[in-house]
Amino acid sequence: DFDKGSEAYFAGDYATALQEWRPLAEQGDAEAQASLGYMYDNGYGVIQDYTEVVNWYRKAAEQGYASAQTNLGIMYYDGNGVLQDAVIAHMRYNISSANGDATGSHNRRVIERRMTSEQIAEAQALARRCMASDYQDCD
């Protein structure tokens, strides 16, 4: 179960966390998907693999999971596992902020300092489209 995986994760027992979370993630649990993404992002109990990171964050983000939206935005901002794209990063941060994630809100403000007003407008339009499609038309 998720709590057993969390307990193992915070105890540094990544093998057990992975064993508990992977089946949940494969069954569509957004929190487990985001947690697997984080493990792959940091190489906790698995080989670091940005393709897997993006895969799991995207699955959780497609369900509106706010922290996965933020983390996916970071992947786009850094260009890890995806092509670097400030507009898509802003879009993801904007969505996560709208869903209550303070980190996403902060990241959106930071990235805006490096964007043109046209890029920001494009990102905002993409965020509206993504949310209107129930997170299915986002990239």
pLDDT tens track for 13-46:
999 999 999 999 999 999 999 999 999 999 999 9
Q: What is the reported pTM?
A: 0.94
Q: In residues, how long is the chain? A: 139
**Maximum C-alpha span of the chain:** 47
pLDDT by residue for the chain (139 residues), tens only, comes to 999 999 999 999 999 999 999 999 999 999 999 999 999 999 999 999 999 999 999 999 999 999 999 999 999 999 999 999 999 999 999 999 999 999 999 999 999 999 999 999 999 999 999 999 999 998 7
Residue among 14, 127, 4 nearest 73 (CA) = 127
Contact 54, 75 (CB under 8 A): yes
